[in-house]
Amino acid sequence: MTQHLDGERVLITGGTGSWGQEFTRQLLRSDSVREVRIYSRGEYHQVEMRREFRSESRLKFLIGDVRDKERLSYAVRGVDTIIHLAALKHVPVVEEHLWEALRTNTIGTQHVVEVAQTHNVEGVLFVSSDKAVDPLNFYGISKLAAERLVIGAGQDGSRTRFVVYRAGNVMGSAGSVIPVFQRQLLQHNMLTVTDPKMTRFFTRKGEVVRLAIQSLRRAVGGEIFIPMMKATTLDLLMRVMINALGDDRTRVDRIDVRPGEKVAELLVSRNESSRTHELEETWVVLPFFPSGALRARYEQARRALFDEYSSDNAPRFSYEELEDLLREEGFLSHLVASPTGPLHFQKDGAVFH
Instruction: Give 96-123 pLDDT, tens digit per residue.
Output: 999 999 999 999 999 999 999 999 999 9
Residue-level pLDDT at 342:
43
Q: How far apart are CA 169 and CA 326, in angstroms?
A: 13
Residue-level pLDDT at 12:
98
Q: How far apart are CA 284 and CA 342, in angstroms?
A: 36
Supply the mean pLDDT for the chain: 91
Q: Which residues are CB-contacts of 93 (< 8 A; sequence separation ≥ 6)?
A: none
Q: How far apart are CA 252 and CA 104, in angstroms?
A: 36
Determine the average pLDDT of the residues in 335-344: 49
**Which has more confidence, 259 or 276?**
276
- Residue 277's SS3 state is strand
Q: Is the pLDDT of residue 337 over 80?
A: no
Helix or strand (DSSP H, E) at 324: helix 319-328
Residue-level pLDDT at 341:
46
Q: How confident is the model at residue 31 (pLDDT cuts 50, 70, 90)?
A: confident
Query: What letter represents residue 154's amino acid?
Result: G
Q: How far apart are CA 158 and CA 4, in angstroms?
A: 21
Identify whether the C-beta of residue 281 lies closer than 8 Å to the C-beta of residue 211. Answer: yes
Rounded to the nearest 5°, which phi and psi values hold at 134? 45, 60
- Residue 77's SS3 state is coil
Q: How confident is the model at residue 148 (pLDDT cuts 50, 70, 90)?
A: very high
Percent of the chain exceeding pLDDT 90 equals 80
When mean pLDDT is compared across 99-113, 135-149, 170-184, the lowest value belongs to: 170-184
- Residue 64's SS3 state is coil
Residue-level pLDDT at 345:
41
Q: Is the pLDDT of residue 257 over 80?
A: no
Residue-level pLDDT at 347:
41
Residue-level pLDDT at 160:
95
Rounded to the nearest 5°, which phi and psi values hold at 316? -105, 145
Helix or strand (DSSP H, E) at 22: helix 18-28
Task: For the domain made up of 9-169+201-229+266-310, give the CATH fold.
Answer: Rossmann fold (3.40.50)
Residue-level pLDDT at 261:
80
Which residues carry out catalysis?
131
**Which has more confidence, 329 or 3?**
329
Residue-level pLDDT at 2:
40
| Beta-strand pair 9-13/81-84 | parallel
Give domain limits for the chain: 9-169+201-229+266-310
Q: Is the pLDDT of residue 271 over 80?
A: yes
Identify whether the C-beta of residue 53 lies closer than 8 Å to the C-beta of residue 62. Answer: no
Residue-level pLDDT at 174:
66
Q: How confident is the model at residue 336 (pLDDT cuts 50, 70, 90)?
A: low
Determine the average pLDDT of the residues in 343-349: 42
Phi-psi bin for 98: left (phi > 0), alpha (psi -120 to 50), beta?
alpha
Residue-level pLDDT at 346:
43
Percent of the chain exceeding pLDDT 70 equals 92
pLDDT 10s digits, 182-237: 999 999 999 999 899 999 999 899 999 999 999 999 999 999 999 999 999 999 99
Residue-level pLDDT at 99:
98
CA–centroid distance for 310 within its chain: 17
Residue (of 199, 209, 220, 187) closest to 296 by Cα position: 220
